[in-house]
Amino acid sequence: MTPALPTLSTCPEAPPHIGLCRRPEWGFRAPRPPAPIEPFDLVHPSVPPELDGLRILHLSDTHIERLYPSPPHHARLIDALRATPADLVVLTGDYMTSPGDEAAAVRALGELAAAWRSRFGAFAVLGNHDTPRFFHAASRIPGLRWLNHESVKIPIDLGQGKRDLALIGSGFPESLLASTCRANDPFAVALVHYPSEIFAASELKIPIVLSGHTHGGQVRSHASFIPHTSCDLPGNRASGVFRLRDTVLCISRGLGAAVLPFRFNCPAQAPLYTLRRRAFGSPTCEVLAPIYRW
């Protein structure tokens, strides 16, 4: 059954200048098989008609460690990937946790690459935990292209006409300005690790930004209270879909755990976005405001 469209009184996280928000089909703390994959419509008015319906599977923050090379979330993710076709797979960093984890992280990433089902390829950027040694080994994984301060155009044909998708990959340390030098396209999707890149992205007029890093807080005493996010964004802006001007930011809760070897009140997540061409609820949005949280 399709959930009813909430009113502002039942959806306080959607302020009037964003417009009414439809709750995700699979809401926070209610994953359905094949978890941890969670599907969401991702709306932007500049989505080209040819790309309307494009499915982008977003993986982030697996945090594989040498002492724990096959955590339960990894096996669940492999099973889910095998059961979930996507048009594009993107990865936004932190495949390992500490120096010495490289071999285990590369092996785990290779297993994911063998499991995912992507029509138009898989693209990745690095995170703050990933070392040069990891990157050197991971760059040999078949079917995975690494983006390091560069933009690429991916030919897409969904049966609605051919269209290139501009994909921007910010290396680490991140520099979106350097990464967009060849992205001469009115519609583009940027891959970053730090969600705080939203401020640079909005100045550069990048329509969609996909990020990770925060783990959604990883440990929450309450679904809406996030005491630590490892980034400059406040807790109530550290997980979900947000808008700043004409840029939409998606922050994944991620898949693994770091520092503390567990998650609490914050389940792992691999968002599956379906691009939709729709107007925003308001022509302006000058503050970082939630479309919906997870």
Query: Is residue 147 helix, strand or coil?
Result: coil
Residue 43 Ramachandran class (φ > 0 left, ψ -120 to 50 alpha, else beta): beta
Residue 217 burial (C-beta neighbours within 10 Å; 0-12, 13-18, 19+) = buried
Q: Half-sphere exposure of 23 toward its Cβ, with a 13 Å CA cutoff?
A: 17
User: What per-residue confidence (pLDDT) applies to 73?
Assistant: 86
d(CA 164, CA 183): 11
User: What per-residue confidence (pLDDT) applies to 171?
Assistant: 81
Query: Is residue 143 helix, strand or coil?
Result: coil
- Residue 236's nearest CA partner among 248, 246, 228, 244 is 228
d(CA 294, CA 167): 25
Residue ranges and CATH numbers for the domains of the chain are 44-293 (3.60.21)
d(CA 169, CA 21): 29
Write out the two tokens for 164.
Answer: 């290139």
Q: What is the pLDDT of residues 109-150, one digit of tens each?
A: 999 999 999 999 999 999 999 999 999 999 999 999 999 999
**Is 95:108 a contact under the CB 8 Å cutoff?**
yes
Opening angle at CA 221, ends 218 and 227, nearest 5: 60
Residue with tokens 């968002």: 271
Question: Phi and psi dihedrals of 207, rounded to 5?
Answer: -65, -45
Q: What is the pLDDT of residues 185-239, one digit of tens each?
A: 779 999 999 999 999 999 999 999 999 998 887 887 766 667 777 777 877 788 8
User: What per-residue confidence (pLDDT) applies to 281?
Assistant: 85
Write out the two tokens for 17.
Answer: 């200048």
Provide the whole-model pTM: 0.88
d(CA 197, CA 195): 5
Residue with tokens 């494009």: 54
d(CA 153, CA 189): 10
Q: Considering only 12-16, 56-60, 84-88, 264-268, which range has the smallest mean pLDDT?
A: 12-16
Q: What is the pLDDT of residues 64-108, one digit of tens each?
A: 999 989 888 899 999 999 999 999 999 999 999 999 999 999 999
